[in-house]
Every structure is written in structure tokens, then in C-alpha cells.
Amino acid sequence: MTAETVPLQPLLHDLQVTLRAPSQVWCSPDGQVHPRGLHGVYHADVRVLSEAVVRVDGALPEAVAAGGTGPGTFEASAVLRSIDGPGADPTTLLRRRRTVAPGQVSEELEVSCGTEAPVSGRLTVHVASDLTRTETVKQGLPTTPVAPQATGDGVRWSDDGADVVVTAPGAQVTIDDAGATLAWDLQAAPGSPVTVGWSVRSQVAAVVHAPAAPDPEWAVPAVEADDRRLAALVTRSLADLGGLRMSADFAPDETFLAAGAPWFFTLFGRDSIWAARLLLPLGTDLARGTLRTLAARQGTKDDPATAEQPGKILHEVRSQELKGEGGMSLPPLYYGTVDATSLWVCLLHDAWRWGMARDDVEALLPALDKALTWMRDHGDADGDGFLDYADATGHGLSNQGWKDSGDSIQWKDGRLAEGPIALSEVQAYAHEAALGGADLLDALGRPGSQEWRDWAAALKARFRQKFWLHDDDGPYVAIALDRHGAAVDSVASNMGHLLGTGILDPDEERAVARRLVSDDMSSGYGLRTLSTTSQGYWPLGYHRGTVWTHDTAIAVVGLAKAGLGAEAGVLARGLLEAAPHFAYQLPELYGGNAVGDGPGPLPYPAACHPQAWSAASAVAILTAALGLDPQPDGGLAATPPTPSAIGALRVDGLRVGGRSFRVQASPEGAAEVTASA
């Protein structure tokens, strides 16, 4: 196989996306959907259109401005010099307005002019479909257009799993081998623009679909801050999250957040849990939907083929088998995750603290019992006292924590760790879950809490003995233990997830904080996944040097909870420094290059955007900056860490249960909390 024929994953850092789950459109910055790479209209996990290119009199419009105009909308403006009047000024304009809704994409094409005489031309839209699965597109494999069928006012494509109908009122429709051309002969006069339109409706057999409720499950707060980047980040992030709302066919009345577009546009246990958890200060409805959806497919049996075990929370849901590089093959319902079960318990506990109704919490207690039991009876495969993982099939995920790439767990010298692997943050999640579960059992009058407190205490003691290391820069927590029980010595961001979980004492938290904000870990745009001192470090290495938005945000919240305001501020400011470089849509991950090393953070070319836990990180910054803490009486306490990372801050619309609050914090750390009427 030559270099020219090797399939390559398409890049997407410079593409525009417009979405309303489970539909999405990926196009070039000028709005054109070209027949290449990721470009296309997608519904669920099928590319329903692989091309939608506009021409006027055979010429491509010349874009002058383009971008999103609101949730699910996009507009591109282009000049039409092929039919323009004389002179240097552009006097004929095409405005392409796109609207995305679940299962439907519509476009209005408006031609206007400022010429002395009317202008005329033939406007065409060439559309094509390959009915290709998203995963095929991701692998960069070649695809072939499917021949369309003519309808009364458009064309249609269909196969066993998808039905796609394009309508174009008033258009002349010509079918060719590569698709169809929709054509209108237009004349626009000064002051009298002319508009035509077309749309595509799609139906795809899928496990996940759009939720029925049109409004999001969270409050949208009003944010005022001395650092104006924060309000802009929150606004953009919450709008993006609205487009990721989904439901599953096995829990159709519940809503969760899809992990991210385009590759992970479905339910992921870990990702959906973290996104809901970070959004808790805006309401508990999303957390309730996420918890219920995942409980509906909680494991009931031992099945090595799917990695299912009794009580285990799933990793991901797809409509068909997922095939990837290196022989990877995952079943449609896959449980290969070591952390989602503990994180499910943590979300339930935190949602209860943030005011989720007692009846809703009680209804989930059977799932809580099963999840806790999984941690004790199934989470430790090799019997060493730590939760670990190892793929038993040979074609599942080799790494099953959030850093799930094949080379993510490695020694300082670049050697890969051998499994079973016990990750440091997984022990912290389990410790926090056991204590949180015990609190829930006590609060709801159920027995068994002391067992879980004792279990957590024993885990904490074992952790302190095995996971701590020292180097020339001082103490730090190993990323993992390998199959031999040896502490893998890379300095990595995983230790940031330990903060605030209770598995560290205050001195240990301070030691971790020092390492997180050191120059080898903090890029100035956030927290690197791997220290620059490691042999395997690379600023664009997926889990070995890049900055992951949510990873940094989790560390920020933990640092603030630990009272380490200065260190929390360093990392929070890093995210705010990065945000404008991505038009305030912080992607899944980006380069670990330092501030000053180039014009900004390097885009990771295949990073998903929007990504649920990345967008939810904007609310995590609010939580940390205000030191938010829900109270047992339904109130809200605020203890902002000092020094302040963003100056004065006022947030109106925070929620605890059914109550709304306004919190105002001064740069010096004084806070005033007011319950809204």
C-alpha cells in the first residue's frame, strides 16, 4: 500500500459545525459542503448528504463572512462577481442561511444586488449522498455516492437503515451519476432580493435520538465578570450544550448529553456523567436524566464479549459494531470502562446535595447498591486491592480510563505500562463514591453505610502506600500501577482528579497542586496531560502532552475545593487564555505548546467540537471561582478562593433544588449570596 492510499482520519479543526442532536452539518468556513473529508450532513451515525455545493452561473461564490448565528443556525455571505455589475465594488450578494433541527436541515439562498439594473443567473446546488456510517468517514476510507431516485420536487436516497429526502420547491432537478443538481433561474433587482430554498429530511434507525423537550434541562445564568472572557465562554458553551441533548430508545423520556461531535455523537457513560456533574449548579434535571438512562442499561451478567458485569455502568452505545485501528472491534453496547460506575455514584451523591428530589434519589438506590457492589466484587480483577482493568477479548479498548488511547499509560522513559492497570484517579473516584454512597444510605435511612466507610478508609491507606513517588522536584502521585504492582512514574495530569475526593490529606493536596502548576505541566493555556520531562511527551500527543479542557477544569474545581486558590487561578486563567483562540468553543483537546510559543494554542486537528465535558467546563470555572457549596437546608454557600483568578464576579441564576440564587464576589474574596424571589 502506497502512502497515497493509506486511509487517514479527516481533520476538522478548520471546519464549521452546526448541530441539533442527532443531526449535524460539517462544512468549510464558507458554508460549502464539499465531497471530501468529514464534510457532510449527518443524522445519527449516517452521513445522509456527502455534498451540498452552491454555484451561480457555474462559479463558486466568493465568501466574505460566515459563522454561526445562534443555536442550530449558520449563515454565509458571498459576493457573486460572475453576475455582478461593472466596477470594483461588490454589488451582488448571496446569503446562505442554514437551520439544523433533529432530522432536518433547511437552507434559504437569497440573492440581492445594489446594481443599476437587475442581475440574473442560474443558481445550482449539487447534492450527493453516500449513506456512509460515521465510523467509516472517521477512518478515512473511500466511499461511493449512491444513485438517487427522482421525486416530485426533489430526490431521495434509501437503504435498509436510512431514508433521505431532499425537497427543492420550484427547482429544476437533474440526476447524474454522482448525485443531483437543483437549479433555479433567478433575477434580482435593486431593493428586490429573490430567495429560494431546499431542505433534507432524514430518518435513520438508531439507538439514540433527540429528546422531546425543546428547552434545555438547566438554567442559563447571567454572568458579569471583570474578566469578560468568562461570560463569553459561558454563553457559547451553554448554547453548544443545547445542541448535544439526546435521549435513548431504552429511556425515551430522559435526556443526557452526547459526548461530542462528530465522532462521539451518542451516549458515553463517563463523558455524559462528567458533563452532567459539572453542570449541577444550574439544576439537577440533566443529572437525573443521565442517571436514569445509564441505570436502565446497568450490567446484569458477566459477558466478556461486551465487558458487562453485574452493577457495571456502560461505556458507550452505538447502533452497530464499531471497528477501528489495530483490529479494535467494539459491540454496540459496550461496558469497557473502569471508572463510569464509580462516577455514576458520585453524580447521584452530588445531585442529591444540589437538591434532586428525594423520591428521585430513592428510586435509584437499587442501582446505587449494585454499583457499589461492583466496585467491591468486580472492580479489582487481580486481587491487589485496587480497581483495575484489562481487555479480555483482544479487540476491546486496551486502556479503559478517560485516557483510553493505546499509548496513554507510559513510563517516563516512554515504555508502555503492562496491564492489568490500576489508575490513580480511578481509586480516587471509588473512594469518593464509597463515602458518598455511605452518606446517601444514612440520609435515606438505609443500612450498610459503615461498610463503605471502612472500605474507603482501607483503600485510602493502600493508596498512600503504593502510589506516591519522589523525584528531584519533590513528591507526586504516579499515574498508575502496572501488572506487577509497580508505580508507573510518569508525571501526568491524572493526579489533578484526586483533589477534593478525600483520598489525599491537605499536605498531599498541596504537593499535587505544586506539581500541576509547574512549568512542565501548566502550559499557560491549561494543564498538560503529560509532563514535558517525559520521553513520550509531544504537544500534539492525544494523551501525552495535549491540554484537555475538562481535565483542566476538574483540577480547577478540586484545587478550589481544597482551598488552593492560587493554583486554581493559574489553571483557570489558562482556559480563559485559550478560549478566544477557539471563538469561545473550547474543543475536546488542543496542543500543549506554551504561551508565547506561537500565536496561540495549537489546534489538535481531529478534536471534537463541541464536546460536552469541554463545554460544561465553563460552569466548572464559575463553581471554582465562587467556591460554591450547596447546603443541607437547600441554601447555597460561597467561599471564593483567593487570590481571585478573574476579579469581581456576579452570577444570577444558580440553582439548588427549586431555589434560584445570585452570588456576587469581590476580587478580595468576599461573597454575598441572595436567594432570588
364 and 456 co-located in one domain: yes
Residue 213 lies in a domain: no
Decide which of 180, 206, 232 is a domain's last residue. 206
Residues 478, 415, single domain; the answer is yes
What CATH number did the domain enclosing 567 receive?
1.50.10.10
Give percent of the chain with pLDDT exceeding 90: 92
The whole-model pTM stands at: 0.96
Verify that 198 and 71 share a domain, yes or no. Answer: yes
Give tens-digit pLDDT for 313-350. 999 999 888 887 777 889 999 999 999 999 999 999 99
pLDDT digits (tens, 9 = 90+) for 462-486: 999 999 999 999 999 999 999 999 9
* Residue 611: inside a domain: yes
**Residue 91 grid cell:** 454589488
CATH classification at residue 108: 2.70.98.40
pLDDT band at 399 (very low <50, low <70, confident <90, very high): very high
Task: Clarify whether residues 532 and 651 are in a common domain.
Answer: yes
Rounded to whole angstroms, how far apart are CA atoms 473 and 471? 5
DSSP secondary structure letter of residue 58: T
In the chain, the number of structural domains is: 2
Residues 260 and 171 both lie in one domain = no
Same domain, 140 and 237: no
Is residue 214 assigned to a domain?
no
Query: Based on the number of CB atoms within 10 Å of its own CB, is 560 exposed (0-12), middle (13-18) or buried (19 or more)?
Result: buried
Residues 152 and 229 in one domain: no
In a domain, residue 323? The reply is yes
The reply to whether 526 and 651 lie within a common domain is: yes
Which of 206, 231, 248 terminates a domain? The answer is 206
Judgement on whether residues 201 and 230 belong to the same structural domain of the protein: no
Same domain, 591 and 641: yes
pLDDT at 183 over 50: yes
Grid coordinates belonging to 204: 435513520
Predicted pLDDT of residue 3: 47
**Residue type at 322?**
L
Same domain, 183 and 266: no
- Assess whether 14 and 72 both reside in one domain: yes
What is the domain range of residue 44?
3-206
Copy the grid coordinates of residue 599: 500565536
pLDDT of residue 322: 85
Residue 217 in domain: no
Q: Is residue 276 part of a domain?
A: yes
For residue 507, tell me if it sits in a domain: yes
CA-CA distances (angstroms) from residue 36 to 9, 131, 155, 260?
A: 12, 14, 21, 21
**Structure confidence by residue, pLDDT tens digits, 237-282:** 999 999 999 999 999 999 999 999 999 999 999 999 999 999 999 9
Of the listed ranges 80-89, 214-223, 522-531, 604-613, the least confidently predicted one is 80-89
Residue 209: what pLDDT?
87
- Domain membership of residue 79 (yes or no) is yes
Last residue of a domain, one of 158, 178, 206: 206
